[in-house]
Structure 1
């Protein structure tokens, strides 16, 4: 019975991550305040404008803000899904330009400390999701929690957003180190955010590569330099995303360009982790199987 249930979940996740169907991108940053949610939602709206079906997962399970930034009032969220009060499909809400959003819970500490059973419940929810999408964007939490690592491992591409602050560089390095040494993620795409010039962005990237090349066996690629732009702050106040509120502003143009580039990133032909990793973890984790499925 357990085997059949896990096979059903695997089938659902394969359907979700079918190479011809869905591109899975995790946007992370190591620390808060680097602008990763703005980047994630900017990518989503820019891709949707090109006719892509985009789903955004707010994976900051304790301090969710995707719905707030979009000015969306969500009646259900991942907390309700985990409590069994609704399905994942029922928690999805529509945002600007037709993007679809799975909101998380804000101000609930228990959501940051999921038990193995709850983690498995979230996995089961993804297994039953039948949303038609071209791109799944995962906006992770700050830090290097188990959930951040899980979602980063689940993606085909990991985008690390970093700004020119010592703590941002240090925390980004810590996240890359953890993912590479303990979870065999070797390739990272870097966004230098809130920089005053392209040169400053290159210098920021150089600071990060200086330490990674010395101590880690990873490949970093600078995929965008997003300028410091007051229009971003103004759009946040309006509960809009800069690519929507001020599409010709420097930050909006940089994020739109990144979206164009991201749509060309190749999708692995074989399942090398992404969302099917969740099922692999279930199959390999006796504790989860024992506690969650054997009554």
Structure 2
């Protein structure tokens, strides 16, 4: 059964794209076929630029997902919907495109083992809807105070307005597991006192290695994401959160 996971962050610059790419690569090494759905318009072609590749130009008009999927690396495919969902507000055309995207995903999802949704960094209804339709939700934060504040605001929105009660946390760009654990405990204290949500620390990723050097390099960052990918693979697919639409 296809597993759908969403990667979120409360602000830009948290490493959402690089971690998503590393997890996808690690899953591909486990012979998993992965489809990345890129909804973050700030990324544009970041996935391809990290790999020193050029994406095929795509139309901003809605078209079948089969025509938009591109091979990123072995066993890893990507489709960008950022331009389609770039319109602001809750316009009729926005939600019509949103609905068609869900139909597209439903049609092709059985062709993949894992669908990884890289959501937009803004607190949009579309991002929350995709998160609610996922089997697992991962939030990425770092050591900075703004990151912790934004992560809490994001969790509050997910919990109080969208009835999400379980979220996995990845602490990125830390000097040690101890530092990452301390950051997670601060977030845990806030949520324990004010929200009805369960958090699980999934990984603390060190800050002393550069993804851009080599995506396929067997470095410590990769090893952390490899363990995380195994966790993703082993987790049982459960009933979806009650979202606006279900994948």
The answer on 1:205 being equivalent to 2:175 is no
3-state SS in 1 of match to 2:223: helix
Contact 2:39 2:82 in 1 (8 A): no
Q: Which residue in the other structure is 2:49 paired with?
A: 68
Q: Which residue in the other structure is 2:164 paired with?
A: 185
- Distance change (3 Å), C-alpha of 1:115 and 1:220: same
Moved more, 27-36 or 124-133: 124-133
Tell me how far apart the structure 1 counterparts of residues 198 and 109 of structure 2 sit (CA, whole Å).
34
Considering fraction of residues, name the structure with more helix: 1
3-state SS in 2 of match to 1:122: helix
Contact 1:74 1:103 in 2 (8 A): no
Moved more, 164-173 or 128-137: 128-137
The answer on 1:88 being equivalent to 2:58 is no
Aligned length: 243
Moved more, 145-154 or 160-169: 145-154
Q: Which residue in the other structure is 1:56 paired with?
A: 36
3-state SS in 2 of match to 1:129: helix
> 1:175 Cα deviation (Å)?
0.7
- Which of the two has higher C-alpha Rg? 1
Contact 2:109 2:115 in 1 (8 A): no
Moved more, 142-151 or 202-211: 142-151
Q: Which residue in the other structure is 1:219 paired with?
A: 198
Contact 1:58 1:102 in 2 (8 A): yes
Q: Which residue in the other structure is 2:77 paired with?
A: 100
Q: Which residue in the other structure is 1:43 paired with?
A: 23
> 1:273 Cα deviation (Å)?
4.0
Gaps of 5+ in 1: 1-20, 281-295
Q: TM-score, normalised by structure 2?
A: 0.89
Give the structure, 1 or 2, with the largest relative contact order (CA under 8 Å, sep 6 or more): 2
Tell me how far apart the structure 2 counterparts of residues 186 and 193 of structure 1 sit (CA, whole Å).
22
Q: Which residue in the other structure is 1:137 paired with?
A: 116
Gaps of 5+ in 2: none
Tell me how far apart the structure 1 counterparts of residues 180 and 57 of structure 2 sit (CA, whole Å).
39
Q: Which residue in the other structure is 1:31 paired with?
A: 11
Tell me how far apart the structure 1 counterparts of residues 163 and 109 of structure 2 sit (CA, whole Å).
29
> 1:111 Cα deviation (Å)?
4.1
Tell me how far apart the structure 1 counterparts of residues 110 and 64 of structure 2 sit (CA, whole Å).
12
Considering fraction of residues, name the structure with more strand: 2
CA RMSD of aligned residues (A): 2.3
> After TM superposition, which residue ranges in structure 1, 4 or more long, deviate above 6 angstroms?
none
- Distance change (3 Å), C-alpha of 1:128 and 1:72: farther
